[in-house]
């Protein structure tokens, strides 16, 4: 057995976000400086994982709520886009490289190409830079879980969510609309297509704010909204439900919503982004 340290390179640096540390730092600072911290300290956040030109400013609304002075362990729950998974998988690497600084992994199979986790690493590094040697991250790839598995993993993670020194980052974009995503739900009563998409997303967001995993599942079954992080969100909602049974009082608020473009006809396509934070009272 070798004691070699295994590093995961920042495979999307230079494409989905800049590979230049100073430039990335300036961009993240710019986005964060435009946002209020109202829900601090967040115990969990939901934030998008697209290219930063599309969702960087939206994600800032979630990351601004992170308190680096109390956070010692960061669980990043991302959906699996490339590996067929029906459970959750932990990473086998020790270090995640980012253009800002290297992040230490807490626990010992994930895919080099999985952007749902990678896109959160520079923001995590930035939000935590004042305490950069004092925290570790636990990247968790969340597979296509059944409702009962979401419940099971929710229970499992609930004891970590109960600890104020832990932060959960739930990685999800919202509606992927258009022919290339094979999804074209349109409620004409809402007006333009992009308004229908916003109405559909906000319906789902308000169910998440009600912290109700069953209603969220029912909403997905009814509308099939293409929320790629639905399983990580389902796990979080089930973890919250478990803690509420034990008398913990929590609330979740979405702080920003954006779309990559405004769809007006059937040839158009867009991805929606939402950022929010869970606080414990």
46 assigned to some structural domain = yes
1 assigned to some structural domain = no
- Encode pLDDT of 214-244 as tens digits: 999 999 999 999 999 999 999 999 999 999 9
**How many other C-beta atoms are found inside a 10 Å radius of the C-beta of residue 136?**
12
Q: What CATH number has the domain bearing residue 95?
A: 3.40.830.10
105 assigned to some structural domain = yes
2 assigned to some structural domain = no
- Encode pLDDT of 25-84 as tens digits: 899 999 999 998 887 799 999 999 877 888 889 999 999 999 999 999 999 998 876 666
What is the number of structural domains in the chain?
Answer: 1
- Encode pLDDT of 133-171 as tens digits: 899 998 888 889 999 999 999 999 999 999 999 999 999
Least confident span in 19-23, 141-145, 174-178, 209-213: 19-23
91 assigned to some structural domain = yes
- Domain hosting residue 141, numbered range: 7-280
Q: What is the pTM of this model?
A: 0.89
């Amino acid at each position: 057995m070798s004691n070699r340290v295994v590093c995961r390179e920042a495979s999307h640096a230079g494409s989905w976000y800049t590979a230049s540390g100073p430039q990335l730092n300036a961009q993240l600072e710019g986005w964060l400086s435009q946002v209020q911290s109202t829900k601090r300290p967040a115990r969990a956040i939901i934030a998008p994982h697209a290219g930063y030109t599309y969702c960087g400013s939206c994600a800032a609304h979630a990351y601004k709520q992170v308190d680096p002075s109390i956070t010692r362990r960061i669980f990043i729950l991302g959906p699996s886009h490339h590996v067929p998974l029906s459970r959750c998988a932990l990473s086998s690497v020790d270090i995640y490289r980012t253009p800002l600084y290297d992040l230490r992994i807490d626990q010992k199979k994930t895919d080099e190409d999985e952007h749902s986790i990678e896109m959160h690493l520079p923001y995590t590094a930035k939000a935590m830079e004042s305490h950069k040697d004092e925290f570790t991250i636990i990247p968790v790839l969340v597979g296509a879980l059944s409702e009962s598995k979401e419940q099971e993993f929710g229970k499992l993670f609930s004891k970590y969510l109960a600890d104020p020194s832990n932060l959960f980052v739930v990685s999800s974009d919202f509606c992927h609309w258009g022919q290339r995503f094979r999804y074209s739900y349109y409620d004409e009563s809402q007006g333009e297509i992009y308004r229908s998409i916003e109405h559909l997303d906000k319906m789902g967001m308000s169910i998440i704010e009600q912290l109700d995993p069953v209603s969220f599942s029912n909403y997905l079954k009814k509308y099939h909204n293409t929320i790629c992080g639905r399983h990580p969100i389902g796990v979080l909602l089930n973890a919250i439900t478990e803690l509420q049974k034990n008398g913990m009082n929590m609330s979740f608020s979405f702080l920003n919503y954006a779309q990559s473009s405004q769809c007006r006809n059937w040839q158009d396509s867009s991805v929606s982004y939402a950022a929010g934070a869970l606080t414990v009272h």
